[in-house]
């Protein structure tokens, strides 16, 4: 279980998160919703350790994540699909996937079979450089790369951006499948069409200048929420 | 707020100009008008030294213009500086006339003893000061223009550009080392007597050159200021940030780059032309890639993209070099000191002044006056 | 207590540190020895060391600092010609003394400078004479680094050789850049040039660091001194210390001093030097001897003049003779160059030179070469009333051509 | 060291004795008395006198003189000051033993101070070579005979003709025999034998077809007339033709060898700069550190384990890698890691560092060059057709290729290589994939530096070992990496070789200085054509 | 031929391959003056590549690309094409990080692009107004002085749209404008584009079918580098092949 308690986060002098709390339980999908610039990505960056949090606490499976470097978090089963893909442009697709092995014990170092069922295009392009892929292909690669680490907590920031509708459906199915097969929590960025209808979980909100918190969606954030959940 | 300033000067800019102007007036005055033993007296050594720094500052400024504002890391700016210096040196050489050791009225001494029969064509005209002065700007400018026109059109960028500028200055260094070049080979041009009829060994001349250098620095600063605070300056920063994006909104990146590169080269040439009469020698060593790198480093120390910083950085340079060298040679020195009681003829405060590193932390935390923040690209 | 300051202007960092640092140490030793003898004019000497860091303009700056700031009585320093050229105007303007200890291309005589190293006629010409007369060389390779000293020297040698009847096709001139490190092609060319059925030799004015790879390549390509001897003017004991000399035995160098010379003064000097540096393997070399001579001349001249005033010393020093390290005396001539013996040494397996030939007497340094047309009529004489560095004997005027 | 004669001494003494025995076993009776009288006479007299004695000794044909002559050439023939007796000094480490030059008898240990060397000059060396050559033509050892034949060929000494004839009669080894025939022909050309014989000799020499042959023939052409001269001239023309052909091959070899030096110097930079993107101005100093490690290793070996000398480089390799690598790791941990993504500050820091390292080395080892010797397997040259290839260069080529191959394997085939590339492309994201970025960064920089260090071991063989060593390679290294294409190892390989070959083909025509300038201009122009180097990466991947 | 005359953008037989892989395969398409066209298609169909070809970033191996009937875009470089009046929003937002939001717009603002023109340029009142309008449209007015590098992903997306508006080109190429926007914003964007399309030609690429439906324009479906189907959204979404490769069942 991931517990974030009253997290603050600063970019230089500017504060982006104001005491945000969140809990992500195993086997559930947790969504973080909000409009542009509200701090969704910042929260996820704080969780994976890409940006230091400046206040509050963060624990995973009872362990305080504190100031653990990102790779330690990855080795504890937290995988991250960032906004903007951030694949390794000069590595081939295969090599991009293989980087995930670093987080695994030697015995588990193999590519999950489901990977290519989910993203057949990657299979066809194993030896193409990641940076040469189209935007949507890169996004698929980013998700696949995170899955290689066999995470127990998968963090997706706007995961379906740029992906074609048919695959978004598959991803939705896959995530539900993974959740059902146990042990995975999925805080995701704002829900996107594919998962939107099916996302059932805790709702977390944050907004600039105001305290955000679990189950405390207020103001413009609430409007968003309603719209999202209305489908 | 770190946005580029409108055509005004900004506080640090004005302060800088005031300091330069004050130095340009005061230093010569205190050197010439006060008696040697007065506490107010500025020794000639200092005038020469500071005059040199002013020239370096102008060079640093020119580099900052292309690097700080346009992202062109030129490791060959020393070449433009040296070319300007050679243009002036050639004039000073011609000024010697028949006062050379062989008394040849036309040929400089080094040509006489290497048996040259007549003056090579490229020396023509340099007996005129105005010609040399124009050449000091024109030759570096033309080289930069041609070099830049090729490189920028071919979209040579980043380290590739840096390294070919380095190749350029290295090639020029080797060429100028060649005695066949007719420019004095390794020894370069020396033994200057006077400029425009003023004896170079007179303090008044030195002070004049000092004031001139200060004026050139101030003028250079204003030119740079005008460029970077215009819309052109914004385009330059845009090029630095995302070159191809700038193209897609319709700017011909290569023209902009070429423009600043050429202007910058001419400024470096001017710096060189002022430098040579003050230090009394120009030789191919000035083309050495290390010199250019050093010059770039003054900019780093002063703060990239802050014109004032660049100019100030140049001052710290010599100190730092001495520090580095001495730091490690202390062991030697201690051994020697035990043998004879001698002391280093360096100011005691030499050890106290570290270079000014701009402490930049997390992205976004930077700021500074005129310095656009840099995001690792 | 008041002291007399002596400036030491040698690069302790940068590319020239490799050669110049030693000279600084020698000066410190000489000053210490002089102080042990009671100093000069009843005062202790004090060394003021500055580091011009192999940067030519910095030489001028540091020189000014020494003379104007530190008020030193004399400066010992410089190695490269360009550093000397850079400081010349400063010494002239501030009227001070510079002792310059390195062999150089000549073509200069300045009132404030004393040239204690060799002029071309004290090194290059005797070496060529030796090769021609003793080894029977008839074909010549003049190989040098492309800068003024080799250019001038080779110009002089070329004229000299041609005057003595060597046809142009038997002279090959080759220049390389500073720090040249890949000698394969050039050594092969030399080998080829040398296989024309005539006895061939290489006269090397290759400078500094380039020598080590040059000799290593010579050794590797198996050029033996018996076949094509190389005589060098810039390779001394210090340089050899960096090379395995086994395969180079027999190659030559021309100097005015070798560490291996057997003379009581030399033995004493080496002993003192090795004690001073606390290293019994430290070698001595020619420029060190030059400083030794120069320093002693200055001391003697100051004693003679009774003052450190530069003008008085300049007047007093001409004619002063002091022992050199090869068992004779060297004297300061009116042209501010000194008299020296010329020695030819062969490289030995132990990194030393074995003197195989020596001029019968002392050779006077010739500031204006007789083998350059424009220099031929010039002479220098700093004694009053002439007091001129470039007196034209044809026109009878001071100042070159004296238009 | 233990006292008593060491193994080396025993061996050497044995060698002398053996040589003497061989000499004595020859058919010519030894006139010991006149021999030792002559040898003693070598101690006095000037160079001309000594030369005369050597010629006399050679003329006697008495091979017993050989050890003494050899010792004279090697500077081991010395005078014992106490009794002015001429002895051969056999050195082992710091011990000297005197051996009788004629009998080979052990005369006991001596102090080097008690001896005075008999001086030789180049003329004497030449005479000695000729003398020893003609005296050993009949030796039992094939190698000795071969060397003798070669010496005689070089000395063009007509007095050796008689012995040569004799030797050719009994020679069994075909190669040596041919050499002897050639030596005989060369000698004949110095005599005034009949033209027919001379013509035949010219033909024999012309057959040899190398530079030495050209030398001999040129001399003949200059000194003779008529048919001999014509034939000689014709042969020279032929030889020159074939030499010119070989010259192209020779240039390629030089080019590759220069290229491999460039490759070695640049290859570490291909990692720190090419892969990591750090403008590493201290790279050259890593090379220098490697060279100094070699020096240190040889120094230790020289003083305490001389028999290991031939292995010194092999020992130095891992040490240089570790030392330079450790320095690299320290630099990365201490400085570079704070500066990722800030090229200018990195440039500043590493440049300052390079000065500090230089000065540090200057303080520790002194400013002057240090001697690094070549192990025997790296000295000398061998012939391949008309090419003269030096062992040192050949090994460096092999070595450079090996290092390169190793690096390619590490980078492309190992998990570490993959992590290294991932980290340098996106440090944060790599960390989120579970890669220990800090460790990988340090190791990568360490690897680059370590490789530079082992390059230093190789470069110590051909260049100065001085604090400035690194400076002379840094610019070239950057050129190579950039020319080949940053981030592409194969580019570095091909770039280095191309620049090497181009340089070596230009050099004979343009001269070394202009050649170098032209190469730089070539690079500048080339970059205009291919703005991202020879092996440019293309496509979107590069732009993002 | 009439097609050519009436068209603003004319692609014919365009082929682009990367190391043998055909990203565009004999693609032909015409966009008329004042038309808005939506382009959909599976990931890797070549949509972005097509925009690269039009804007001069990628040179086609063969085929013609004509603008306004007479300008051969394959012969021009990026800046020249931009000056002809073709503006582009990238799939991945790219803005000038170390410029403020305001300066980003200012740089994109329509006007002379020469070196000396820029050196002596002064901001007129008109231009100021236009900038304000654009800023209001993209709702970044209160962050106008902030560095663009400090914006969130979605805000950069908006800023890029703003730059495109400021540039005011004749033809707008918009690559995935709705990615990372909320539904409300998505709808607004669609409205904005419809408004623009009244006076400009627009080519939009999107994967969000709701958005495409909102646009209500002719849709071209690309697949493996060539046109698979063309027509209204309802028409193409009924196409079996489109469902097969793109929409999914
Ligand atoms: N330099 C390259 N080398 C190899 N393949 C490339 C290169 N550039 C693009 N491609 C391939 O070309 C195809 C077309 O890419 P493009 O970006 O045009 O697709 P797209 O239609 O925009 O897809 P998306 O909807 O995912 O953005 C992709 O399969 C991509 O992998
Ligand atoms: N690197 C940065 N430096 C400074 N400020 C930043 C930085 N990144 C984000 N911010 C600011 O922090 C706030 C939150 O940004 P964040 O990226 O978390 O938003 P978001 O909710 O993910 O928005 P979007 O939906 O657009 O992705 C924004 O106001 C943004 O301007
Ligand atoms: Mg976000
Ligand atoms: Mg796309």
How close B231 comes to chain E (CA, Å)?
5
Same domain, D172 and D290: no
Residue D199's closest CA among D172, D179, D225, D227? D227
C-contacting residues in B 264-293 (Cβ below 8 Å)? 279-281, 283, 285
Q: Is the CB of E146 under 6 A from ligand 2?
A: no
Mean pLDDT, range B169-193, rounded to an integer: 88
Distance (Å, whole) CA E52 – CA E37? 17
Domain contains D239: no
More confident residue, D29 or B191: B191
Q: Is the CB of E247 less than 8 angstroms away from the CB of A166?
A: yes
Strand pairing class (C230-232; C252-255): parallel
Is the model more confident about B10 or about E226? E226
Chains E and C touch (3+ CB pairs under 8 A): no
Please list every residue in chain D whose beta carbon sits closer than 8 Å to the beta carbon of residue A90.
Answer: 421, 425, 487, 537, 541-542
Among the bound ligands, the one closest to the CA of A206 = 2
What's the confidence (pLDDT) of residue E107?
93
Cα gap A46→A66, rounded to integer Å:
10
Which ligand 1 atom sits closest to the C-alpha of E222? Answer: 21
Cβ D340 vs Cβ D280: under 8 Å? no
Q: Considering only C231-235, C372-376, E88-92, which range has the smallest mean pLDDT?
A: C372-376
Mean pLDDT of all residues in D44-52: 83
Q: E99, B374: Cβ pair inside 8 Å? A: no
Cα torsion angle, C277, C282, C287, C292, sign: positive
Distance CA E71, CA E56 (A): 12
Please state whether at least 3 CB pairs lie below 8 Å between chains B and E.
yes
Average per-residue pLDDT for chain B = 78
Sheet holding A2-11, edge to edge: A14-24, A2-11, A55-60, A63-64
E strand or H helix at E238, and its extent?
Answer: helix E233-238
Q: Is pLDDT at C97 greater than 80 in this prediction?
A: yes
* Cβ atoms D363, B329 nearer than 8 A: yes
Instruction: Give the pLDDT confidence score for residue C400 in this predicted structure.
Output: 64
**Shortest Cα distance, chain B CAs vs residue C114, angstroms:** 17
Q: Confidence band (pLDDT; 50, 70, 90) for D421?
A: very high
Low-confidence ranges of chain A (pLDDT < 70): 176-231
The token duo for B309 is 């910083």
The residues near B250 (Cβ < 8 Å, ≥ 6 apart) are E79, E82, E83, E113, E167
Written as one string, the DSSP assignment of B61-126 is HHHHHHHHTT----S-HHHHHHHHHHHHHHHHHHHHGGGSTT--SSS-HHHHHTT--S--GGGTTT
Per-residue model confidence (pLDDT) at position C401: 54
Whether D306 and D447 map to the same domain: the answer is yes
Residue-level pLDDT at D138: 79
Cβ of A30 less than 6 Å from ligand 2: no
Q: In B, residues 209-268, which contact C (CB 8 Å cutoff)?
A: none
Using CB distances shorter than 6 Å, the residues near ligand 1 are A 128, 132-137, 162; D 539-540; E 18-19, 21, 23, 41, 43-49, 91
Q: For D178-237, how does the pLDDT look when each residue is reduced to its tens digit (9 = 90+)?
A: 888 888 888 888 888 888 888 888 888 888 878 888 888 888 887 777 888 888 888 888
- Nearest residue (by CA) to ligand 2, atom 29, is A37
Please state the length of chain D.
Answer: 544
Asked which of D224, D255, D275 is the last residue of a domain, the reply is D224
| Contact flag B250-E114 (C-beta cutoff 8 Å) | no
CA distance D351 to D353: 5
* pLDDT for residue E232: 92
Please indicate, yes or no, if residue D405 is contained in any of the structural domains: yes
Ligand 1 atom having least distance to the Cα of A134: 17
Strand ranges of the sheet holding C397-398, from the earlier edge strand across to the other edge: C378-381, C388-392, C397-398
- In a shared domain, residues D118 and D140: no
**Domain match, D507 and D460 both:** yes
Neighbours of chain B (3+ CB pairs under 8 A): A, C, D, E
Residue C26's Cβ-side half-sphere holds a number of Cα atoms within 13 Å equal to 27
Question: Is D70 part of any domain?
Answer: yes
DSSP 8-state assignment for residue B42: P
In a domain, D83, yes or no: yes
Q: For residue B154, list chain E residues with Cβ-Cβ distance below 8 A.
A: none
- Indicate if the pLDDT at residue D537 is higher than 80: no
Lowest mean per-residue pLDDT among B171-175, B346-350, D409-413: B346-350
Residue B377's pLDDT is 28
**Gap from CA of D474 to ligand 4 centroid (Å):** 43
Report pLDDT for B306: 63
For E11-58, write each residue's pLDDT tens digit: 999 999 988 889 999 999 999 988 999 999 999 999 999 999 999 999
Q: For a pocket test of ligand 2, which of A13, A40, A83 has the largest count of ligand atoms closer than 8 A to its C-beta?
A: A40
In this predicted model, which residue has the larger pLDDT, E205 or C246?
Answer: E205
Tell me, yes or no, whether D241 lies in a domain.
no
DSSP state of C67: I
Cα A208 to averaged position of ligand 2 atoms, centre (Å): 10
Query: Exposed, middle or buried by CB within 10 Å (0-12, 13-18, 19+), for A18?
Result: buried
DSSP E73: G
Indicate whether D144 and D122 sit together in one domain.
no
Would you say residue B362 has pLDDT above 80? no
Domain that holds residue D168: 136-224
Indicate whether D431 and D474 sit together in one domain: yes
- The answer to whether residues D251 and D220 belong to one domain is no
Pick the closest to residue B329 from D366, D90, A23, A190 (CA basis).
Answer: D366
How far is D514 from D506, CA to CA, in rounded Å?
9
| Domain ranges across chain B | 16-351
**Nearest atom, ligand 1, residue D539 CA:** 1
| Residue whose CB lies within 8 A of the most ligand 1 atoms, among E45, E52, E220, for a mutation test | E45
A93 alpha carbon – ligand 4 mean position (Å): 17
Distance between CA atoms of E14 and D540, rounded to whole angstroms? Answer: 19
Are both D115 and D152 inside the same structural domain?
A: no
State the maximum Cα–Cα separation within chain D, in Å, rounded to a whole number: 92
Q: In this complex, do E149 and B2 lie within 8 Å of one another by their Cβ atoms?
A: no
- Number of domain units in chain D: 3
Lowest mean pLDDT among A217-226, B70-79, B291-300, C18-27: A217-226
For the stretch D117-162, pLDDT in tens is 888 888 888 888 888 888 888 788 888 888 888 888 887 777 778 8
CA C99 to chain centre: 11
**pLDDT reported for residue B304:** 61
> What span, in angstroms and rounded, lies between the C-alpha atoms of C146 and D329?
40
Touching partners of C (3+ C-beta pairs < 8 Å): B, D
Q: pLDDT band at D97, cuts 50/70/90?
A: confident
Spatial separation of the C-alpha atoms in residues D511 and D357, rounded to whole Å? 34
> Could you give the CA distance from residue B63 to residue B70 in angstroms, rounded to a whole number?
10
Cα gap D538→A86, rounded to integer Å: 19
What are the tens digits of pLDDT across the range B254-283? 999 999 999 999 999 999 999 999 988 998
Non-local CB neighbours of B338 within 8 Å, separated by 6+ positions: none
Q: How far from B255 is each of B239, B344, D386, CA to CA, in Å?
A: 11, 51, 55
Q: Is the ipTM of this complex over 0.85?
A: yes
Residue D237, domain member (yes or no): no
- Would D5 be classed as within a structural domain? no
Tell me: pLDDT of C77 over 50: yes
The answer, yes or no, to whether residue D26 has pLDDT greater than 60, is no
Q: What is the pLDDT of residue B201?
A: 85
D404 and D272 part of one domain: yes
Question: Which range (B109-123, C212-226, D89-103) has the least confidence?
Answer: D89-103
Edge-first strand order for the sheet with E62-67 is E21-32, E7-18, E62-67, E71-72
Distance of alpha carbon D283 from alpha carbon D275, whole angstroms: 14
Could you count the other beta carbons within 10 Å of the beta carbon of residue D436? Answer: 18
Same domain, D170 and D299: no
Among candidates B201, B321, B340 on the partner chain, residue whose Cβ is nearest the Cβ of C89: B201
Name the residue facing E180 among A158, A166, A193 (closest C-beta).
A158
For residue C279, what are its two tokens? 């290293």
Q: Could you tell me if D38 and D109 lie in one domain?
A: yes
d(Cα A95, Cα D215) in Å, to the nearest integer? 62
Alpha-carbon dihedral sign for residues A56, A60, A64, A70: negative
How confident is the model at residue B133, as a pLDDT?
94
B67 closest CA partner among B165, B168, B146: B165
Residue E5: how many other CB atoms lie within 10 Å: 9
Is the residue at D230 inside a domain? no
Look at residue D332 and give its three-state secondary structure.
helix
Average pLDDT over residues E95-116: 91
- Residue D239's Cα: distance from chain center in Å? 27
Q: Is B146 on the interface with D (CB under 8 A)?
A: no
pLDDT at B375: 30
Q: Is B247 on the interface with D (CB under 8 A)?
A: no
Q: Residue C125 in 3-state DSSP?
A: helix
Q: Does E159 touch chain B (CB under 8 A)?
A: no
DSSP string for residues in B243-297:
HHHHHHTT--HHHHHHHHHHHHHHHHHHHHHHHHHHHS-B-GGGG-HHHHHHHHH
**Contact between chains at B192 and C89 (C-beta distance less than 8 A):** yes
Q: Are residues D72 and D116 in the same domain?
A: yes
Out of D127, D147, D181, a domain closes at D127
Extract the tokens encoding C4: 């007399």
């Amino acid at each position: 279980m991931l517990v974030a308690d009253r997290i603050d986060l600063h970019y230089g002098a500017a504060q982006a998160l104001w005491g945000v709390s969140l809990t992500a339980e195993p086997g559930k999908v947790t969504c973080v919703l909000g409009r542009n610039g509200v701090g969704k990505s910042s929260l996820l960056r704080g969780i994976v350790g890409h940006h230091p949090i400046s206040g509050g606490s963060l624990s995973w499976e009872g362990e305080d994540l504190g100031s653990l470097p990102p790779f330690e978090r990855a080795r504890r089963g937290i995988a991250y699909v960032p906004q903007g893909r951030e694949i390794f442009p000069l590595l081939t697709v295969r090599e991009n996937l293989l980087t995930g092995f670093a987080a695994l014990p030697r015995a588990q170092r193999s590519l999950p079979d489901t990977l290519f069922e989910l993203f057949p295009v990657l299979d066809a392009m194993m030896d193409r450089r990641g940076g040469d892929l189209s935007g949507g292909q890169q996004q698929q690669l980013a998700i696949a790369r995170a899955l290689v680490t066999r995470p127990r907590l998968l963090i997706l920031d706007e995961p379906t951006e740029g992906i074609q509708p048919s695959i978004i459906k598959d991803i939705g199915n896959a995530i539900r499948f993974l959740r059902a097969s146990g042990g995975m929590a999925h805080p995701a960025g704002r829900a996107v069409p594919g998962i939107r209808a099916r996302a059932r979980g805790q709702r977390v909100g944050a907004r600039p200048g105001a305290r955000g918190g679990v189950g405390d969606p207020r103001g413009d954030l609430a409007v968003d929420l309603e719209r999202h959940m209305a489908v | 707020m770190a946005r580029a300033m409108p055509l005004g000067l900004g506080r640090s800019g004005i302060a800088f100009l005031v300091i330069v102007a004050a130095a340009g007036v005061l230093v010569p005055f205190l050197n010439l008008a006060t008696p040697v033993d007065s506490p107010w007296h500025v020794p000639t050594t200092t005038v020469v030294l500071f005059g040199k720094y002013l020239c370096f500052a102008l060079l640093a400024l020119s580099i900052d213009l292309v690097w700080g504002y346009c992202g062109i890391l030129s490791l060959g700016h020393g070449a433009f500086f040296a070319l300007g210096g050679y243009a002036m040196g050639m004039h000073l050489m011609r000024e010697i006339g028949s006062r050379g050791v062989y008394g040849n009225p036309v040929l400089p001494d080094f040509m006489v003893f290497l048996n040259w029969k007549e003056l090579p064509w490229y020396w023509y005209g340099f007996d005129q000061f105005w010609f040399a002065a124009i050449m000091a700007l024109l030759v570096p400018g033309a080289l930069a223009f041609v070099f830049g026109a090729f490189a920028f059109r071919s979209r040579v960028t980043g380290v590739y550009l840096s390294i070919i500028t380095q190749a350029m200055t290295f090639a020029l260094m080797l060429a100028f080392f060649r005695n066949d070049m007719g420019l004095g080979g390794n020894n370069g041009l020396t033994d200057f007597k006077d400029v425009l009829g003023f004896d170079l060994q007179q303090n008044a001349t030195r002070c004049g050159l000092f004031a001139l250098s200060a004026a050139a620095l101030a003028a250079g600063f204003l030119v740079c200021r005008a460029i970077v605070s215009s819309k052109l300056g914004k385009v330059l920063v845009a090029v630095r940030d995302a070159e191809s994006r700038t193209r897609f909104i319709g700017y011909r990146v290569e023209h902009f780059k070429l423009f600043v590169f050429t202007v910058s080269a001419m400024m470096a040439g001017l710096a060189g032309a002022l430098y040579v009469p003050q230090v009394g020698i120009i030789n191919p060593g000035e083309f050495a890639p290390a010199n250019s790198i050093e010059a770039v480093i003054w900019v780093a120390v002063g703060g990239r993209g802050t014109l004032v910083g660049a100019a100030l950085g140049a001052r710290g340079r010599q100190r730092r070099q001495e520090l580095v060298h001495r730091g490690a040679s202390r062991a030697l020195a201690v051994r020697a000191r035990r043998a004879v009681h001698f002391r280093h003829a360096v100011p005691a405060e030499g050890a106290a002044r570290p270079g000014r590193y701009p402490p930049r932390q997390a992205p976004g935390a930077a700021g500074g006056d005129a310095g656009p923040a840099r995001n690792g690209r | 207590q008041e002291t007399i300051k002596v400036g030491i202007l040698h690069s302790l960092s940068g590319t020239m540190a490799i050669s110049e640092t030693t000279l600084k140490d020698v000066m410190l030793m000489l000053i210490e020895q002089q102080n042990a003898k009671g100093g000069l004019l009843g005062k202790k000497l004090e060394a003021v060391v500055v580091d011009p860091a192999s940067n030519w303009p910095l030489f001028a700056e540091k020189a000014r600092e020494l003379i104007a700031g530190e008020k030193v009585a004399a400066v010992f320093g410089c190695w490269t010609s360009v550093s000397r050229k850079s400081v010349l105007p400063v010494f002239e303007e501030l009227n001070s003394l510079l002792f310059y200890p390195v062999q150089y291309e000549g073509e200069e005589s300045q009132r404030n400078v004393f040239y204690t190293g060799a002029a071309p006629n004290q090194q290059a010409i005797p070496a060529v004479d030796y090769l021609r007369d003793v080894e029977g060389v008839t074909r010549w390779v003049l190989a040098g680094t492309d800068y003024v000293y080799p250019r001038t020297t080779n110009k002089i040698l070329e004229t000299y050789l041609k005057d003595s009847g060597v046809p142009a096709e038997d002279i090959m001139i080759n220049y390389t850049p500073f720090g040249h490190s890949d000698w394969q092609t050039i050594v092969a060319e030399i080998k080829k040039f040398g296989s024309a059925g005539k006895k061939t030799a290489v006269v090397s004015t290759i400078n500094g660091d380039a020598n080590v790879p040059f000799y290593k390549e010579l050794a590797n390509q198996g050029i033996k001194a018996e076949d094509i001897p190389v005589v060098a003017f810039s390779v001394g004991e210090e340089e050899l210390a960096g090379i395995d000399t086994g395969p180079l035995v027999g190659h030559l160098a021309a100097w005015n001093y070798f560490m291996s010379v057997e003379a009581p003064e030399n033995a004493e000097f080496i002993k003192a030097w090795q004690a001073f540096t606390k290293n019994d393997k430290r070698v001595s070399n020619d420029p060190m001897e030059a400083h030794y001579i120069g320093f002693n001349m200055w001391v003697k001249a100051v004693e003679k003049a009774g003052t450190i005033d530069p003008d008085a010393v300049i007047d007093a020093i001409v004619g002063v003779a002091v022992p050199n390290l090869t068992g004779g005396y060297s004297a300061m001539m009116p042209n501010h160059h000194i008299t020296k013996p010329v020695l030819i040494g062969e490289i030995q397996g132990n990194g030393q030179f074995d003197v195989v030939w020596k001029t019968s007497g002392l050779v006077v340094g010739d500031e204006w070469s007789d083998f350059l047309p424009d220099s031929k009529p010039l002479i220098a004489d700093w004694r009053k009333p002439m007091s001129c560095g470039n007196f034209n004997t044809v026109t009878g005027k001071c100042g070159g051509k004296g238009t | 060291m233990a006292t008593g004669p060491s193994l080396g001494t025993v061996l050497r003494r044995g060698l002398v004795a053996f040589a003497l025995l061989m000499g004595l076993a020859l058919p010519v009776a030894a006139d010991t008395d006149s021999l030792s009288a002559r040898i003693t006479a070598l101690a006095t007299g000037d160079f001309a006198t000594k030369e005369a004695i050597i010629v006399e000794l050679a003329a006697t044909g008495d091979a017993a003189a050989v050890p003494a002559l050899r010792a004279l050439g090697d500077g081991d023939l010395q005078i014992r000051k106490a009794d002015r007796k001429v002895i051969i000094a056999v050195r082992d480490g710091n011990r000297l033993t005197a051996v009788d030059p004629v009998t080979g008898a052990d005369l006991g240990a001596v102090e080097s101070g008690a001896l005075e060397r008999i001086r030789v000059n180049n003329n004497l060396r030449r005479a000695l070579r000729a003398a020893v050559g003609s005296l050993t033509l009949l030796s039992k050892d094939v190698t000795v005979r071969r060397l003798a034949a070669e010496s005689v060929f070089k000395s063009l000494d007509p007095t050796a003709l008689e012995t040569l004839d004799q030797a050719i009669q009994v020679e069994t080894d075909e190669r040596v025999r041919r050499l002897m025939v050639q030596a005989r022909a060369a000698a004949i050309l110095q005599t005034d034998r009949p033209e027919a014989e001379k013509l035949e000799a010219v033909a024999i020499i012309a057959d040899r077809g190398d530079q030495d042959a050209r030398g001999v023939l040129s001399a003949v052409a200059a000194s003779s007339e008529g048919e001999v001269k014509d034939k000689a001239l014709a042969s020279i023309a032929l030889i020159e033709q074939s030499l010119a052909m070989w010259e192209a091959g020779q240039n390629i070899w030089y080019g590759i060898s220069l290229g491999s030096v460039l490759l070695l110097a640049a290859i570490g930079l291909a990692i720190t700069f090419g892969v990591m993107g750090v403008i590493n101005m201290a790279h050259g100093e890593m090379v220098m550190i490697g060279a100094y490690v070699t020096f240190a290793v040889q120094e230790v070996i020289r003083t305490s384990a001389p028999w290991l000398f031939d292995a010194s480089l092999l020992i130095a390799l891992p040490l240089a890698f570790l030392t330079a690598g450790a320095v690299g790791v320290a630099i990365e941990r201490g400085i570079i890691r704070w500066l990722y993504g800030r090229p200018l500050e990195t440039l500043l820091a590493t440049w300052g560092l390079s000065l500090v390292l230089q000065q540090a080395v200057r303080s520790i080892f002194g400013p002057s060059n240090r001697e690094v010797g070549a192990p025997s397997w790296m000295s000398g040259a061998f012939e391949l057709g008309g090419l003269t290839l030096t062992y040192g260069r050949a090994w460096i080529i092999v070595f450079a290729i090996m290092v390169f191959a190793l690096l390619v394997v590490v980078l492309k085939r190992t998990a570490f290589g993959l992590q290294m590339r991932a980290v340098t492309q996106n440090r944060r994201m790599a960390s989120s994939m579970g890669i220990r970025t800090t460790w990988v960064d340090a190791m990568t920089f360490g690897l680059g530096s370590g490789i530079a260090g082992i390059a230093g071991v190789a470069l110590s063989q051909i260049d100065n070992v001085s604090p400035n060593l690194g400076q002379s390679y840094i610019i070239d290294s950057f050129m190579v990496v950039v020319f080949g294409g940053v981030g592409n190892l194969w580019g570095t390989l091909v770039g280095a070789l191309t620049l090497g070959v181009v340089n070596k083909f230009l050099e004979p025509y343009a001269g070394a200085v202009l050649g170098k300038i032209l190469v730089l201009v070539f690079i500048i122009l080339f970059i205009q054509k291919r703005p991202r180097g020879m092996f440019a990466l293309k496509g979107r991947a590069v732009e993002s | 031929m009439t097609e050519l005359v009436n068209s603003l953008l004319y692609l014919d037989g365009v082929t682009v391959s990367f190391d043998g892989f055909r990203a565009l395969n004999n693609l032909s398409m015409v966009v008329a003056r004042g038309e808005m066209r939506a382009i959909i298609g599976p990931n890797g169909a070549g949509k972005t590549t097509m925009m690269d070809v039009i804007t001069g970033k990628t040179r086609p191996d063969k085929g013609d690309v004509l603008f306004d009937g007479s300008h051969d875009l394959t012969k021009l470089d990026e800046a020249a094409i931009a000056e002809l009046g073709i503006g582009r929003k990238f799939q991945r937002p790219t803005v000038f990080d170390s410029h403020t939001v305001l300066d980003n717009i200012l740089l994109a603002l329509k006007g002379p692009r020469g070196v000396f023109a820029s050196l002596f340029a002064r901001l007129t009142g008109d231009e100021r107004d236009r900038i304000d309008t654009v800023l209001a449209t993209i709702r970044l007015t209160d962050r106008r002085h902030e560095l663009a590098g400090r914006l969130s992903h979605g805000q950069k997306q908006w800023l890029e749209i703003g730059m495109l508006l400021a540039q005011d080109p004749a033809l707008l190429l918009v690559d995935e404008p709705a990615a990372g926007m909320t539904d409300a914003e998505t709808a607004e964007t669609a409205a904005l584009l419809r408004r623009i399309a009244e006076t400009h030609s627009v080519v939009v690429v999107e994967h969000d079918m709701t958005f495409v439906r909102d646009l209500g324009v002719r849709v071209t479906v690309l697949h493996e580098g060539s046109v698979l189907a063309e027509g209204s959204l309802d028409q193409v979404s009924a196409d079996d092949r489109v469902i097969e490769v793109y929409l999914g069942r």
